[in-house]
Each structure stands twice: as C-alpha cells, then as structure tokens.
Amino acid sequence: MSVLDIHDLKVEFPGRKSTFVAVHGVNLKVEAGKILGVVGESGAGKSTVGNAVIGLLQEPGRVAEGEIFLHGQRIDNLPDKQKRLMRGRKIGMIFQDPLTSLDPLQTVESQLVETIRTHLPLSNKDAKARAVQLLDSVGIPNPAERIKQYPHQFSGGMRQRVVIALALCAEPELVIADEPTTALDVSIQAQILELMKKLCTERNVAMMVITHDMGVIADITDHVAVMYHGELVEYGETTQVLGAPKHPYTQSLISAVPRPDVRINRFPQVNYIEKAGTPTKNIDISTHWLGQSRDYIKVDGPLVRITDLDMRFETRGSIIPSRRRYFNAVKKVSFDIHEGETFGVVGESGSGKSTIARLITGLYHPTGGSINFAGQELTSLKDRREVLAMRRQMQMIFQDPFSSLNARMRVKDIIAEPIKFHKLASSNAEVRQIVADLLDHVGLGAAAGEKFPHEFSGGQRQRISIARALATRPRFLICDEPTSALDVSIQAQILNLLKDLQEELGLTMLFISHDLAVIRQMCNRIAVMRHGELCEVADCDQLYENPQHDYTRELLSLMPSMELLSRADLEQAPA
C-alpha cells in the first residue's frame, strides 16, 4: 500500500465574483522509501497540492472534490485539531526559505525540543538529547554547541539542515519538501539532495519534492508528476518522463533547461508555455535612438581592467585600531573584460561576486587596487559630472526585479527616470516615444507602461528592469543573478533576450551567477571565485572541459546530472 494516495483532487479559492480553481483532477501516490518529484512553473498548482495534503491551505482555499489518504486513512476531511496533531507527527514539511520558517527569537534547541515534546512522550532531557542527535544526523558539525545558537548564526545551507531536522523530529511517514534548494549554491544543493536521498533510504520515509528545477528532479526522484495550470499533464518514472517526454508541455520544459555539457546559440522557443518574449515591432537599431549617439571613446585593449582589487568590511569597530576586526570580501582580484564579450563570474554565496559588481559601479569604494573603465581610472574620479558620465555607460540588472523597481511608480515613469536624469532626450514627447520603443523591444508592448510593477509576472518584471537598464544607452551591462529567481522557461526567454540585445547593441556584459549551466550558455570567458579570491580565469569551453583549479573541478562535479533529459532539442540548435 502507498504511504500517500491522492484521488481526483480539486482545490478551489472562492472569490467575490468568481471561483479560482487552482488544482483540478490530480491523481498521485508516493510509496515508502521513494521520492516523487512534482514539477512545473510558478502557478502550476504544485505547492497547492502539498498544502492540501498537510492541511495548510490558506483561507478561503478548500478541497472541493477528491480524497487524500495517508496509509489508507482519509485525512483531507479530518477536524482541524486532528490535522494539527498529524502535522509534524505523521507528515513533515521542509519549506523553501529556512530563515522565514525558523523563529529568529528562539535558539535552534528550543525550537527542536518544543516540536519533539509536542509529538513524542519524552522528558525535556531526552528531547534535548534527541535534538542533538537529529542535528548530527543531518550533518551539522559540533551539534552540541551549535544547537544553542540562533538561526541567523547559521549559513543558508546549515539553516536548511535545521529545517530538515525539524521535519524529522517525530519520525513522520511522509515528508513534503517545497522548493528545498532554490536559494542554495550548487555545492550546498548537492549536500542537501544527498542528505534527502539518504534519509529516504535509511528511514524508509516517503517524500514529495516540489520544484521547478529539472536538475533536482533528475538527481533524486524515482517518479515525476508534471503539472500545468492546475492539471496533471504527465506522470511516470523519472527516466521515462525526462528521457522520452510525451506531453508538449513537458517537452517544452526540458528544452528550456540550460545544459552544462554542451553550448547552444539560443534556447529553443518555448511556444507551449508563453508566446511573449519577442519584440512587438521590428526596429532598425542602426538608425534608431537605441543605436544612435553611442559617442563613447574607442579604447585600445580591455574595456574593463581590474587590478589587485581589495575590499574589506569592518565587523567590529573600536577607537583603538588594533581592536578593530575586518572581513576581507575581495582579495587581490585581477581580470580584464574585452569590448563585446560576456565575462562570467561564478562561485558560491560569499565568494565576492556581487561585491565586485558593486565596486565597479561605484556603490562600494575599494580599500585597495584599481578599476579602469574605458581608459579612465574610476577610483580617481572626483568631479560629479565625470562620475555621472561614466555611470551612464554602465547599468546593472539585479537578481530580484520586484525589489529593484519602485512599486509606487508606473512602468513608463520608471523607464523614463534615467533618460530625464541624464538629459538624453530633447522633449517629453521624445521621452514617451523612447519608453514605448524600449517596452516594445523587450517584448512587453507600449501599453505596459501604464501599469505598476505588481501587475506583472516575475519574468515580465525582469524585462522592465532590462528596458530601464537600456534607457541610458549603456556600453557595459552588469547582470547580477538576473534569472535565479525565475522558472526555467522564463529564464530561457530572458537569456535569449539578453543575447539578442548584446548582438544588436554591441554590449559588453559582466554576468554573475552560481548556476554553472547558465554561465556556460551565456559567457565567452569565465572567472571562478572562492572566499574572495580568484581561482582561475579561462575560456568557457576550456574551463568546462579541462579545469585547472581543484575548486573548479569540485564545482563542476557537483552540478546536477542532466544525462536523463531528452536531447532532441539540442539537435535543432547547435552552437
């Protein structure tokens, strides 16, 4: 008998004017010791299925039809009190963001002990001993000492291990993991996935992993359920679904996955998922505003030259210099970026990637070294007009488009702001025309300018960020994790758009990411960083095929395996 059985599940969210059906007609099962992957884009209904199983549907959400069974006992119609007792004791939950699912005001010990004593008849002393044992089992070093600490004192990967320990406190029969590795670097992700597989095998726990990451699906699942617009469109063994997908949506998802093993010119067009993404009007860049007045000084040699760059942050202040403490975020980093190329920087969180981007743009002032841009030493600029003239030539696209856009401004005003600030148009009418053309060019259409950022999806908001970055007609674009928060198909569209813009406008790009597969598809040369230091710089293919540094080899070995994925799409778009 299966641990979890879901029959014809339908979940509704009644509204004032209509009822939104989030999940319709879903049938799934999970067996002991097995991992089921539920995959699909944001809004597909994946998390809704998980929340329905554990009884955490937000009001006014409800299970309108269907049945959910745990070890043969129906659980969807249980009273609220019994559902609360079931959560943690029979079903454990691992959430996407460990920092928000842990209480910042309580130590890890108090949170674990409280959960253990809620569900198991143990004394306080025995519960503490079990809590230490749990931390040790999920791979946290020095568990007896670290259990006394607060969540903010742990790294992202370690916090996720604490959340896994919490989910296993009462030895549940089923664990639901909702995007458990989305925010983690490749090395931490590999550790967490290995831990999850080990727990399933050793404890015979059934697990449902909800994700949009096909690499996670390929690495750890036994069966896959593919969801689209609340419906189950494909279900089967992982090798079959990923290797020979039958439904057009599954084929589209797989075709959009960045490949670490081979480089392609463009990601295949994912027409089944979303038809937006191409310019709504064909614009001749050579005669258009975007391509004109790029009166930048031609430079001999690299456009960007970074030499012995240092950046340290004070972690403990004192009037006595010898008592001050510093953290060295960037240490003696040197590299060049040539005009027209895409230069990638890859590494774990805390390696110094984003710090370098902020140093180049002037958001931080370096404690040592030099940054030369277009023949001008940036660290020596004092005159405000000179600083603004250099900054106009470089723009930045951030990881989270929602937080980088002003929620109170209409899109047309957001994009017009840098044009007006740098006095790049002669009249308001010209500004309006430029904004409309930019929105057309990134595939949104001029009408999008009348809306506010919250009215767009994540991928559309990132297009707005790109349009705003292009508004100053830059020659250098810094992309700091621009697609890490996006679904795989939306990611493919944004990456294709960036490639098109670079080709049309002759842009030079610094592309920062911890996703090695994305870096391979986008970059000409790649720098690998660790703990603020540069490990190696190499051409893209050389780095992946013959890495020189031990850390680079380690990173490449930890990439999720894509061998199971259908390769039909690669035959259509070779590099």
Place of tokens 């940054």: 371
Q: Which tokens go with 457?
A: 């999806």
| Dist. CA 458–CA 200, nearest whole Å | 34
**DSSP 8-state code for residue 362:** T
Cis check for the bond before 401: say yes or no (omega within 30 of 0): no
Sign, CA dihedral 99-102-105-106, equals negative
| Dist. CA 29–CA 53, nearest whole Å | 12
**DSSP 8-state code for residue 258:** P
Each domain of the chain, given as residue ranges in start order, spans 4-242
How far is CA 36 from each of CA 62, 169, 206, 306, 450, rounded to the nearest angstrom? 23, 21, 8, 47, 43
Listed residue (1, 8, 45) closest to 27, CA to CA: 8
Strand, helix or coil for residue 201: helix
Strand, helix or coil for residue 181: coil
Place of tokens 């929620």: 407
| Dist. CA 451–CA 414, nearest whole Å | 11
What backbone phi and psi angles, to 5 degrees, belong to 337?
Answer: -125, 120
Burial of 97-107, coded b for 16+ CB within 10 Å and e otherwise, reads: ebeebbeeeeb
Give 154-213 pLDDT, tens digit per residue: 876 788 889 888 988 888 899 999 888 776 777 777 888 888 888 888 888 999 999 888
The residue ranges of the chain whose pLDDT is under 50 are 275-277, 568-575
Q: Is the pTM of this model over 0.85?
A: no
Listed residue (200, 208, 201, 199) closest to 227, CA to CA: 208
What pLDDT does 468 receive? 92
Q: Which amino acid is at 431?
A: V
| Dist. CA 354–CA 510, nearest whole Å | 11
| Dist. CA 275–CA 460, nearest whole Å | 12
Interior angle at CA 575, CA 506 and CA 545, nearest 5: 105
Contact 210, 43 (CB under 8 A): no
What pLDDT does 6 receive? 95
What pLDDT does 270 receive? 57
What pLDDT does 110 receive? 95
Strand, helix or coil for residue 234: strand
Could you please state the CATH topology (level 3) that the domain comprising 4-242 is classified under: Rossmann fold (3.40.50)
Containing 529, the helix (H) or strand (E) segment is: strand 525-530
Q: Which tokens go with 268?
A: 């295949």
Burial class from Cβ neighbours inside 10 Å (0-12, 13-18, 19+) for residue 319 reads: exposed
Residue 403 CB coordination number (10 Å) = 10
